[in-house]
Structure 1
Amino acid sequence: MRRYAAALLAAIIFTLTLAGCSSGYDTEDFIGKTSAEIVDENGDFDCVIGEAGEDGLYRNSKCGYTIKEKKTGFLGSSDEVLFFICFDENGVAASCAEGFRPGG
């Protein structure tokens, strides 16, 4: 019985740990949309690597929304984590990935 309880507790802790890492963003909500459509639905990007064209579309750019703010504490600091969306030459989202803000 104790082994069962220990295994159950370990599974719960593991699940909660993974849930804490979830960005809340779903890649499928972004792929195939233009940067303008994404901004209309989610607001301005928190980080932009590249520039918007005259039409407002980000082409060959990487833009991101903050998932976890940078924190400095007693035991050290943690990096800011972002959900990045990579746009192709047409300004359409081609891929998404979590990452750290460039330059810290």
Structure 2
Amino acid sequence: MSRLTRACGIALIAAGLVGCTQTTPGQLAKTTEPVSPDLTCSEFEILPPQDKVKVINEIVKASPGDPSLFLVMLASVLCERAPEQPVKEVLLRLR
């Protein structure tokens, strides 16, 4: 499978996961701790999609609606080769 094909597949999955939410009336929402931009790639990979977007937004100082999903997919692909590297370093090398 080519990298482009894999990246496109990841993009479709991420878009589907981020776009789908479900709430149950009468239940309290779960609260979570703030997500740190200093995660390693292996820590980043186990986050839920919405937290991955938060991490990427914090790293690149982007606001919601910027190309966050693309950067999440790119970070996931790049992190496969460097699981112990901080996500921030992996992305900032692209500059």
Name the TM-score class by shorter chain.
under 0.3
**So what's the TM-score if we normalise by structure 1?**
0.25
Larger Rg over CA atoms? 1
Question: Which fold has the larger relative contact order, with Cα–Cα distance below 8 Å and residues 6 or more apart in sequence?
Answer: 2
**So what's the TM-score if we normalise by structure 2?**
0.27
